[in-house]
Chains A and B, each alone.
Chain A
């Protein structure tokens, strides 16, 4: 069975602080993809990153960075110098293929509040 755990339900930081959102996953598949999405109050899911299981290189995009550690089954997301506009719910997700097609599992989400 596949599972995504985001242990932090809610995080509050003050603007300009760095914050890391944790994501731990479980899967028996050797080929899989990991995602992070941002969900603003409108309900849309905004794609942030996709990482495949064979690429453990960390990635940086502006103030965002991701740390993929296959050994610990973690795919953590760090926002540097947070801003009020970063306030949202962030979902980590796991995707793989089985005989029936694509599986996609969301974590429970972490609500980030960035205070001015």
Chain B
């Protein structure tokens, strides 16, 4: 069965650079969630989208932005990268925002800022 695809798997950037992380949800899933997990920390919810509109907002820094496209894939754009942005970034998808019929997490993108 198709899973949530995140790209790239690993990314190394320098301070003040920008990065774009991509998430391709399971086919027909219309809801996407982004999480950030720093070293030794729990995943922190950043933002979610339902039907291409922002749904919920968590602890996403102003330097980050995200959107969901017409094909339901989502991109997390990160600018002016800081060392503290080094983390695992997970994307999850589900069908329906309120139905919660099934969450699936991707394998994550490991971002290292040097």
Contacts and interface: CB of A to CB of B under 8 A. Distances in A.
Interface of A: 9, 35, 37, 39, 41-45, 47, 89, 91, 100-102, 104-106, 108-109, 111
Interface of B: 10, 33, 35, 37, 39-40, 42-45, 48, 55-56, 58, 88, 90, 92, 98, 100, 102-105, 107-108, 110, 112
Main SS of the interface on chain A? strand
B42 A45 contact: yes
A37 to B, nearest CB: 7
A22 to B, nearest CB: 17
A39 B39 contact: no
Contacts of B103: 39, 89, 91, 108-109
B10 A43 contact: no
Contacts of A89: 100, 103
